[in-house]
Chain A
Amino acid sequence: MFSYILYGAAGLGLLISYLKDKKKTKMALMKAWKPFNNLLPDFAGILALVGLALTVISPEIISRIVGAESGFLGMISASLVGAITLIPGFISFPMAYSLLERGAGVMQVSVFVSTLMMVGFVTLPLEKKHFGAKAAYLRNGLSYAFSFVVALIMGVVIR
């Protein structure tokens, strides 16, 4: 259902853009194609791997590690994976969806998604170079802590 809205919005946007400026519209399509094309191999690979792994690993095991009953410990492990790995959002959301479907808990998946987006352990050296060590550690530390707050809110709101 939502995808129809998206296609409608994209079509309308393209139409308005085309009427206003043909050249810019062509540029926009090129800017859309490049990252899409770059993403596709990883997207397909990881999504397929998730499909395989989450079927072979039984829902019981998944829910024991990151299920709702795994509690704070499950959140800690999910958050560490999120903070350390570099997974594009376009891949992490399908992953989150599959995890939820196979027995993972809302808070555990939420803290994984938030830390993934806001905390960057691997890119910390780069961040330090841009903003200095103190600002980089502060931003990552506070973002890590705040991911748990968001997860708690999610746990209350989502069912």
Chain B
Amino acid sequence: MKLVKRYWMFLAVLLMDAVLVLARPQLGQEVVRFTVANFREMLLLLPPVFILLGLMEVWVPRETMTKYMGADSGAKGAALAVFMGAAAAGPLYGAFPIAVALTRKGASLHNVLLFIGSWSTLKIPMFLFETGALGARWSLTRWSASLVGIFVIATIMEKLLHRTDREQIKALAEGMSGD
């Protein structure tokens, strides 16, 4: 019963598929063929991607990396920030509390912005899955264009966020407890 509840959407669609197969056999069969092909292709990609994701979560040392992301960390700090975001897992809002913690631990605004940008669109497990689903040409182009993009966005934001804005960001970070 629990399983039915969890997969209600999937089961509901299957029911609609079944109705369609009975009512309009030709269209129904095409739906089934398209759906099965999609599932076979995509489902196969998930297990290894998630295993790599789990391994990264355990082996990438977040704490020690933060130390090298301060104001004068230069290219090394930026590279670490991008890598830390890319090695992450989960939706973008999962990055917010970590970004706040980075700010509190002294990472520069530029690096924090790079971290959020990288988390949003450069995540390695996602990149692997994207490559499997849409091809290397697609994923490599999007990944490298986005890599340039997050640097551009971080640089523009840094210019537009004035001292009072930065102080507000710092104050917000200090005010957030937890972590």
Contacts and interface: CB of A to CB of B under 8 A. Distances in A.
Q: Do A and B come from one complex?
A: yes
Interface of A: 2-3, 6-7, 9-11, 13-14, 17, 24-25, 27-33, 35-36, 39, 41-52, 54-56, 86, 88-90, 93-94, 96-98, 100, 110, 113-114, 117-118, 120, 123, 126-127, 129-132, 134-135, 138-139, 142-143, 146, 149-150, 153-154, 157-158
8 contacts: A9-B48, A13-B55, A30-B54, A48-B14, A51-B31, A94-B41, A134-B160, A138-B160
Interface string B12-39: 1110110010000001001100110011
Contacts of A143: 117, 120, 153
Contacts of B160: 134, 138
B131 A2 contact: yes
Interface in B71-104: 89-93, 96-97, 99-100
Nearest to A49: B13
B91 A150 contact: no
A57 to B, nearest CB: 11
Contacts of A132: 165, 168-169, 172
B92 A96 contact: no
B157 interface: yes
Interface string B118-154: 0011010010111111101110011001100100110
Interface residues of B, number: 78
Contacts of B58: 17, 24-25, 27-28, 31
Contacts of B45: 3, 6
Contacts of B90: 35
A47 B35 contact: yes
B145 A96 contact: no
Contacts of B134: 93, 96-97, 100
Given A13-B52, A142-B153, A154-B142, A51 B34 contact: yes
